[in-house]
Amino acid sequence: MSAPLLEVRGLARRFGGVAALDDCSLTVRRSTVTGLIGPNGSGKTTLFNVVTGYLRADAGQILLEGRRVARPDPARLYRRGLCRTFQQPRVFADLSVLENLLIASGRRRAALAGPRVRADDRDRAEALLAEFSLAGLADDPAEELSYGQRKLLEFAALLMSSPSLVLLDEPTAGVNPTMVRTMERHIRARHAAGTAFLVVEHDMNLVMRLCDPVVVMAGGRVIAQGPPGDVQADPLVLDAYLGG
Q: Of the candidates 54, 63, 202, 203, which one interacts with other proteins according to CB under 8 A?
A: 54
* Distances 131 to 62, 128, 153, 193, 217 between C-alpha atoms, Å: 33, 5, 11, 13, 33
Q: For residue 35, how many other CB atoms are within 10 A of its CB? A: 24
Interatomic CA distance for residues 168 and 33, integer angstroms: 10
Site string for ligand ADP, 2-41 (x = CB under 6 A): -------------x--x-x-----------------x-xx
- The reply to whether 152 sits near other proteins by the rule CB under 8 A is yes
- Supply the minimum distance, in Å, between the C-beta of residue 225 and other proteins: 26
Which residues, in sequence order, are CB contacts of 48 under 8 Å at separation 6+? Answer: 54, 84, 167, 169, 200
Question: Could you tell me which stretch among 32-40, 63-71, 135-143, 187-195 binds other proteins (CB under 8 A)?
Answer: 135-143
The answer to whether residues 65 and 3 touch, using CB atoms and an 8 Å cutoff, is yes
Assign 147 to helix, strand or coil. Answer: helix
Rule CB under 6 A: choose which of 5, 26, 32, 44 binds ligand ADP: 44
Return residues touching other proteins (CB under 8 A): 52-54, 73-75, 78-79, 83-84, 86, 90-95, 99, 102-109, 111-116, 118, 133-137, 145-146, 148-149, 152, 157-158, 160-161, 176, 178-179, 181-182, 185
